[in-house]
Structure 1
Amino acid sequence: MTSSLPRGVDLPQFPWDTLTEAKKVASAHPGGIVDLSIGTPVDETPQIIQDALKEAANAPGYPTVVGTEEVLEATKLWARARGISALDEGATSIPTIGSKEMVAWLPLMLGVRPGDRVLIPRCAYPTYDIGVRLAGAEPIAVDEDPVQWPDAQMVWLNSPGNPNGHVLDVEQLRKIVWWARKRGAVVASDECYAALVWDESLLDGGVPSLLSDAVCEGDVSGLLVLYSLSKQSNMAGYRGGIMMGDPKLVEAAVAVRKHAGMMVSSPVMHAMSVALLDSASAFANPREGLEHVPDNAEADMRDQISHVSIQRGIYARRRAKLEAAFASVGLENDPQSRAGLYLWLRDKRGEVDGRALVERLAQLGILVAPGEFYGEGNEGFIRVSLSGKDERIRAAVERLSQVKTLFAAK
């Protein structure tokens, strides 16, 4: 008898698989491809983190799902630097296998089921939608203002946003918390780009967190925050993240994770602890790394500023170069893009859609992601990652400088 398995899961095609042809074209460029389509770190993991991983390499036993005391204490210190005192007052945290794992599985872990509704950002990374579908529930894309939101069991926030770099301010977050508590909804905020701030308005206080004292006043009921060390610390290969907030919600996720064997390895938890402790000053002073930091700062300033601040300075320089280069060929960045790892660009004339821009840039050997990946209504945009080696960034800038416009005027 022929097996009925595998049946597959009813999910859309993985978006980046549709870039195969554009990648072939870009790869054929004589100067090689400049791949800015994925936000994967390319700079070296800081040495202190590599050393920490090695120090903990002798790990014969199973790790715990809830995490070591070391990583939990480091998370508390890091949270204080972000203006979050709730972890000192009863809120709970656990280490996670990066943040994407929780974006995909948190609705299911919290008991979201068929018939439920989960609100996701209208402009968002695809996994929020996928996670809701995996739970059998209905994803509903909404704008940032909750005034017109339909009732739902759960709400996803992403601030700073991927791909658009939008940041929810304290008043917006307070409004969302009020809305959710009036309806008994859970709010989960993915804040994995919070270290990467660019706009002057954020350089004194940083990116507000859903759990910030100014937002929730220490009451974390119904609230969860996710964070990742992948971007801030070049640790994407380690798979280390954090979930923190309402103890009842965290405990519900832990119960599922225990059965599923979803745990962060002991060496990675030690490396996370070192990274979190070293990153605190970068959050206490968001300007650190953005002013007067030389290109060779890793060597010259390792003992003076956080590794996160050094990386922030590197991304800031790449961002400035790319933003200017794309502007020179008629592509403007979203004016509300104030933080994060990406440029969110569109043809300033409004005449060319994202797919056409992807194809044209591929002819220059530059690969980017079309806005359609991030939800309906975003077809006019492209997302450009800042995570290219400096040499590749220079190559992209040079290629763009050789053309006056990507498309002839109609």
Structure 2
Amino acid sequence: MTAGFSPPPYPYDRLDEIVAIAGRHEGGAVDLSIGTPCDPSPDAVLAALCAGDSARGYPPSIGTKELRAAAAGWIHRRLGATVDPAAQVAACVGTKEFVASLPQYLKLRDPSRDTVLYPAISYPTYEMGATLAGLRAVPYLELADIDDRDARRALAIWVNSPANPTGELHDLDAAAAWGRERAVPVISDECYAEFTWSGPATTILRNGTDGLLAVHSLSKRDNFAGARIGFYAGDGALVHYLREVRKHAGLMPPGPVQAAAVVALGDDAHVEVQRERYRARLARLVEVLAAAGYPAALPAGAFYLWVAAPEGDAWQMARDLAAKAGVVVSPGEFYGPHGAGFVRVAAVQPDDRVELAASRIGA
């Protein structure tokens, strides 16, 4: 019997040893591994979940008119680009499902291509989405490194800025040009755009929309990860195709969640508060790591510290941090082989938990 696909262990399921070491401290482990928000969603957003009767009927898969208008307005107001809410925006059930399912839909659209290009140090779902679709997942470090043979076979290329896990800001203009020159759709994951520290927030859609999609989430911006809501915007033909195929797959964000997202996207004040929370938390974690013997630098974007491990041994560094400070961090190999000499530290615990870790090492 031919063996079928065997799913690899989910990365964070491999942290049991580290969690156990950190948990020996009084007060338990301080988990800085998974990038899940810890701060409250705005009261008005939570209230909108309970208002009206939008849970009664089936919600529009593509997003309500109000949601698409709010998304387009936010892109224009905060990121400086223009899209048509009627034809160039659609909702998704959180962006992880979109990232994971996109390759199979693109393969149906263009059976002549079989490759998904993605950053070599990145969110693991870019690679897994291609794998689940039965496609080639080909990593790249720089655009210039991509082999012409892989480019000719590419269904799409992923870019991510600000980047998870490194916090880097990438050249979205160069990515847009690269894709257009080769007729390869560029899918830009911009979920951390509001948390850009070096310069203003931006989007690949400042280059127009032809051949481009931007993907956005309310999980990080609005501490709304449990609601599972996001949206994609850009090339009208590609958005139309994805809208239609996703209708058939039954992918639709719940009606109350869509209503709440309209409120969230219309309010920038709570985002400024959240930005300052993350900025302060990142700075404090730099101090905590320094006290533990691991120098770290603030990122250009996102809410992670990407820290080199001594002698490249990230697992030993993770064990040491768990033993000294009771913190749990992610070894960089979770984000690809090129990240193996680093750890990722997520600024996603409340300040009192961060201070608990700091007190354990006299920071």
Q: TM-score, normalised by structure 1?
A: 0.82
Q: Name the aligned partner's letter for residue 319 of structure 1.
A: L
Aligned length: 354
Structure-2 change in CA distance of 1:333 and 1:62 (3 Å): same
List runs of 5+ in structure 2 lacking aligned partners.
none
Find the counterpart in structure 1 of residue 229 from structure 2.
Answer: 240
Pairing of 1:40-189 with structure 2 (within 5 A): 40-88=36-84, 92-111=88-107, 116-144=114-142, 146-150=143-147, 151=151, 152-168=154-170, 172-189=171-188
- Identify the match of residue 229 of structure 1 among 206, 218, 233: 218
Structure-2 change in CA distance of 1:79 and 1:209 (3 Å): same
Find the counterpart in structure 1 of residue 204 from structure 2.
Answer: 210
Write the distance in 2 (CA, Å) between the matches of 1:176 and 1:37: 29
- Identify the match of residue 339 of structure 1 among 294, 298, 301: 301
Percent same amino acid among aligned pairs?
A: 40
Write the distance in 2 (CA, Å) between the matches of 1:181 and 1:114: 18
Deviates more, 1:61-70 or 1:8-17: 8-17
List runs of 5+ in structure 1 lacking aligned partners.
280-305, 403-410
Deviation at 1:115, TM superposition (A): 6.1
Write the distance in 1 (CA, Å) between the matches of 2:140 and 2:167: 16
Write the distance in 2 (CA, Å) between the matches of 1:23 and 1:56: 43
What RMSD in Å do the two structures reach over aligned CA positions? 2.0
Q: Which has the higher helix share?
A: 2
Structure-2 change in CA distance of 1:147 and 1:332 (3 Å): same
Structure-2 change in CA distance of 1:359 and 1:60 (3 Å): same
Runs of 4+ in 1 over 6 A off after TM superposition: none
Write the distance in 1 (CA, Å) between the matches of 2:194 and 2:157: 23
Whether contact under 8 Å (1:114, 1:138) holds in the other structure is no
1:312 aligns with 2:275: yes
> What do residues 243-278 of structure 1 show as CA deviations (whole Å, max 9, x unaligned)?
111121112222221111100111111100010010
Write the distance in 2 (CA, Å) between the matches of 1:339 and 1:57: 38
Write the distance in 2 (CA, Å) between the matches of 1:232 and 1:41: 9
Helix, strand or coil for the counterpart of 1:361? helix
Write the distance in 1 (CA, Å) between the matches of 2:85 and 2:263: 23
Helix, strand or coil for the counterpart of 2:47? helix
Write the distance in 1 (CA, Å) between the matches of 2:292 and 2:112: 47
Find the counterpart in structure 2 of residue 378 from structure 1.
Answer: 339
Q: Name the aligned partner's letter for residue 392 of structure 1.
A: R
Write the distance in 2 (CA, Å) between the matches of 1:153 and 1:245: 16
Write the distance in 1 (CA, Å) between the matches of 2:334 and 2:112: 25
Write the distance in 1 (CA, Å) between the matches of 2:359 and 2:38: 20
Helix, strand or coil for the counterpart of 2:137? strand
Q: TM-score, normalised by structure 2?
A: 0.92
Deviation at 1:58, TM superposition (A): 4.8
- Identify the match of residue 31 of structure 1 among 19, 23, 27: 27
Whether contact under 8 Å (2:333, 2:339) holds in the other structure is yes
Write the distance in 2 (CA, Å) between the matches of 1:313 and 1:339: 13
Find the counterpart in structure 1 of residue 259 from structure 2.
Answer: 270
